[in-house]
Structure 1
Amino acid sequence: MYRWIRPLLFQMNPETAHKLTLTTLSRIPSVSSFFGQAKADSALLSQSLWGLRFQHPIGLAAGLDKNGEAVDAFLKLGFAFIEVGTVTPLPQPGNPEPRLFRLVDDRALINRMGFNNEGAIKLHERLAKRHISGIVGVNLGKNKVTDNDRAVDDYIQLVRELYSVADFFVINVSSPNTPGLRDLQAADTLIPLVDAVLKERGRQNALQGGPLKSHHANEQSGALTGRQTNLGGRARGALPPVLVKLAPDLDDEAIVDVAKRLVDVGVDGFIATNTTITRPSLQSQHRAETGGLSGKPLKERSTDVVSLVYRATEGRVPVIASGGVFTAADAFEKITAGASLVELYTALIYKGPEVIEEIVNGLQSLLQAEGFHSIKEAIGALHRT
């Protein structure tokens, strides 16, 4: 069906098409049924991570549904999990338009949105009212007007306000579109910020009467007991895992160093990677636009970062791969490099919702063909060969 819709959407300004799609999905979630739904063989593709049960490894990356408008529809499309945001404590308009560009010849996007969103209170309201069960994570950022020396306050406030509706949190200090944000990636700045977020998570857990429970490697395979909160996958009393999203533009040594130090502090996982400010060989009209580049040109570097993090942490915490995944073979490459889960964004724009089922079914076939009995056997297999 998407092959008939895409030409109409691609005639529109990219942000107009984006808003139209979200509005349609939010008001009529049942429209997602026209695109089918991914069905996974649980014996092959399901796994438990952080006490959350993932039906298969394919999820929606942050940035597409910043305000949690279409959570029900995206879950109905067949994503095993979705990541909403980036959200900031206060609403903000983001950068001036135009700020989103299609690079059709390169199967890529460039965006300089600038954390445009309606703020934490609005997101909380929407997530609290959703109807479809499923795993929903929240990507956290600071407001543009917040100085870096006070950035930790924004992240703490977000954990406090969204704790009851998030199945996991992602600390985003790697977007290239908020001035000065990437300065927070330096280990000496990032470590105290992450430590403060983890402590706030513990405080919120204590306020709700939950036990303090780590999610590190020896506990990743078992689901936590307890009643689920709202419609998420997180059991009541369980700590929502805290992940850090990494920039692909850090050098290899910095990625290894920060990954090791963050695991020692207690971070529960990583997302590799955010968009890139580098410009590999591109062909499309908008190749010189400023902003973060996503899609096919990011695939190789994203996989490299997955490998670096997996090796640096010795697989002790899960890695979510994000960057350039268009096919089952792309996803399989990320998994064998060390990714436990894989997120899509740009592929959804170019190939439509059918890409979810295509990748899920293709992954099952690839796992069987390579002799794996479960996805967990395949995670990081490249490093054991």
Structure 2
Amino acid sequence: MPYRSLIKPLLFRLDAEDAHHLTLGALALASQVPGLPLARRITAPASPALRQTLWGRDFASPVGLAAGLDKNGQAVPAFGALGFGFLEVGTVTPLPQSGNERPRLFRLPEDSALINRMGFNNAGTQALEARLQGPRLCPVWVNIGKNKVTPNEAAAQDYCACVRALYSVADGFVVNVSSPNTPGLRALQAAGELQALVTAVMDEVERQRVRTARRLPVLVKLAPDLHPDDFAASIEAVIQAGASGLIVSNTTLSREGLRSKRRTEAGGLSGLPLRQRSTELVRDAYRLSRGRVPLVGVGGIFGPQDAYEKIRAGASLVEVYSGLIYRGPALPWEIHTGLEQRLRQDGFRTVREAVGVDAQ
């Protein structure tokens, strides 16, 4: 592919965050080009085998874009034209914030990984609300968080403020309590705190549902570093609070097995080293939740086999981020093609039939 042989080597000569902004800026410009729906007809899967209906919404593909790549919704049409089944923008906080000091994003090419300590840098809900007024080619979820200056005891106010500000332009929300780059945030994953927080968010969603006559799903994103007992307790707390689903998992603080000289950088690790761990956690979450809510698997998806393993482990949907950086914009199409082949080879008529078959 031109990306892997030409564009990627040039981008990888730049600072990682500079390359990110350059690429996102190009995609933002591309988002203004007419004809993107036509491009999506080529990139999005036409096969009914990959279609699902979840939370009353149709997903043409189980492959989505993970949060963090387009924090401010700058390139929603262009990402939709790549063929994704859904997009997740954010993390967004009520007020704009600059995040942590640079450098804060690092490539680990030897490990096909990234480390980031961005710190929820974003333009705030007002800017995102304006951008999401524009066209979209697939469902768009909004990943929400709290401002750094907001204490944990007041965190629910920030999450609910995001819901109020963005309910009319979102297709769903993701409660982010698992980023390692906002001090104290992961403490909100403790079962008691998490249930109270998600309950508050669900109450706000219900108020907005009554106001707008639109019911939106709310998912909760968990970290891969929880103790097994805490992971199980958090899952039960999320379900008891009425959340619609779980995203498993966020970035990890583990550095096990890394070779890159950048491995000592502080922040959350994503990419290929997380693949096996996140798939195991998807399987655990499927067994613990007993299929009561859909799961989204994320972590180390670089090709169709990686996505297929997460689906068989229990994920109804999957998301990519680091894989897109390393493999390029053709990755969604490659995953779609490979998934169809694997489903057919294993005798599944639809992706839904494959969900959780390895977790029984």
| Alignment correspondent of 1:310 | 286
**Comparing 119-128 and 299-308, the one that deviates more:** 299-308
Task: Give yes or no for the alignment of 1:94 onto 2:99.
Answer: yes
Query: What one-letter code is carried by the residue in structure 2 that aligns with 1:108?
Result: A
Query: What one-letter code is carried by the residue in structure 2 that aligns with 1:97?
Result: R
Q: CA deviation at 1:344?
A: 0.3
Q: CA deviation at 1:35?
A: 11
Query: What one-letter code is carried by the residue in structure 1 that aligns with 2:136?
Result: I
Q: CA deviation at 1:131?
A: 2.0
| Alignment correspondent of 1:204 | 208
Q: CA deviation at 1:41?
A: 3.9
Unpaired runs of 5+ residues, structure 1, are 211-236
Query: What one-letter code is carried by the residue in structure 1 that aligns with 2:74?
Result: E
Indicate conservation of the 8 Å contact 2:94/2:158, yes or no: yes
Q: CA deviation at 1:261?
A: 2.5
Indicate conservation of the 8 Å contact 1:67/1:123, yes or no: yes
Secondary structure of 2:358's aligned partner: helix
Q: Please give the alpha-carbon distance, in whole angstroms, between the structure 2 residues aligned to 1:320 and 1:278.
A: 21
Runs of 4+ in 1 over 4 A off after TM superposition: 30-37
| Alignment correspondent of 2:163 | 159
Match of 2:267 among 291, 299, 302: 291
Indicate conservation of the 8 Å contact 1:328/1:363, yes or no: yes
Task: Give yes or no for the alignment of 1:150 onto 2:154.
Answer: yes
RMSD: 1.5
Secondary structure of 2:250's aligned partner: coil
Describe the superposition over 1:136-191 as per-residue Cα deviations: whole angstroms up to 9, x where unpaired: 00000100000111111000100000000111100001000000101111111110
Indicate conservation of the 8 Å contact 2:192/2:237, yes or no: no
Q: Please give the alpha-carbon distance, in whole angstroms, between the structure 2 residues aligned to 1:290 and 1:166.
A: 32
Aligned pairs (5 A) from 1:106-255: 106-128=111-133, 130-208=134-212, 210=213, 237=214, 239-255=215-231
Q: Please give the alpha-carbon distance, in whole angstroms, between the structure 2 residues aligned to 1:340 and 1:23.
A: 31
Q: CA deviation at 1:262?
A: 1.6
Indicate conservation of the 8 Å contact 1:41/1:364, yes or no: no
Query: What one-letter code is carried by the residue in structure 2 that aligns with 1:147?
Result: P
Match of 1:64 among 52, 69, 73: 69
**Comparing 199-208 and 339-348, the one that deviates more:** 199-208
Q: Please give the alpha-carbon distance, in whole angstroms, between the structure 2 residues aligned to 1:364 and 1:162.
A: 35
Aligned pairs (5 A) from 1:72-83: 72-83=77-88
Q: Please give the alpha-carbon distance, in whole angstroms, between the structure 2 residues aligned to 1:356 and 1:22.
A: 17
Number of residue pairs matched by the alignment = 355
| Alignment correspondent of 1:266 | 242
Query: What one-letter code is carried by the residue in structure 2 that aligns with 1:76?
Result: A
Change (3 A) 1:194 1:34: closer
Describe the superposition over 1:32-59 as per-residue Cα deviations: whole angstroms up to 9, x where unpaired: 8999953324321000000110001000
Match of 2:29 among 27, 30, 53: 27
Query: What one-letter code is carried by the residue in structure 1 that aligns with 2:95?
Result: L
Secondary structure of 2:220's aligned partner: strand
Secondary structure of 1:110's aligned partner: strand
Q: CA deviation at 1:132?
A: 3.0
Q: CA deviation at 1:78?
A: 0.8
Task: Give yes or no for the alignment of 1:320 onto 2:296.
Answer: yes
| Alignment correspondent of 1:7 | 9
Q: Please give the alpha-carbon distance, in whole angstroms, between the structure 2 residues aligned to 1:36 and 1:50.
A: 24
Q: CA deviation at 1:305?
A: 1.2
Describe the superposition over 1:198-246 as per-residue Cα deviations: whole angstroms up to 9, x where unpaired: 00001111122x2xxxxxxxxxxxxxxxxxxxxxxxxxx3x11000000
Q: Please give the alpha-carbon distance, in whole angstroms, between the structure 1 residues aligned to 2:307 and 2:39.
A: 24
Calculate the TM-score normalised by the size of structure 2.
0.96
Change (3 A) 1:35 1:161: closer
| Alignment correspondent of 1:349 | 325
If asked which structure has higher relative contact order (CA below 8 Å, sep 6+), I would say 1
Query: What one-letter code is carried by the residue in structure 2 that aligns with 1:150?
Result: A
| Alignment correspondent of 2:341 | 365
**Comparing 29-38 and 312-321, the one that deviates more:** 29-38
Indicate conservation of the 8 Å contact 1:61/1:82, yes or no: yes
Secondary structure of 1:91's aligned partner: coil
Secondary structure of 2:173's aligned partner: strand
Q: Please give the alpha-carbon distance, in whole angstroms, between the structure 2 residues aligned to 1:375 and 1:276.
A: 28
Change (3 A) 1:318 1:35: closer
Secondary structure of 1:132's aligned partner: coil
Identity of aligned residues (%): 53
Match of 1:257 among 219, 233, 251: 233
Indicate conservation of the 8 Å contact 1:36/1:77, yes or no: no
Indicate conservation of the 8 Å contact 2:43/2:81, yes or no: no
Q: CA deviation at 1:124?
A: 0.3
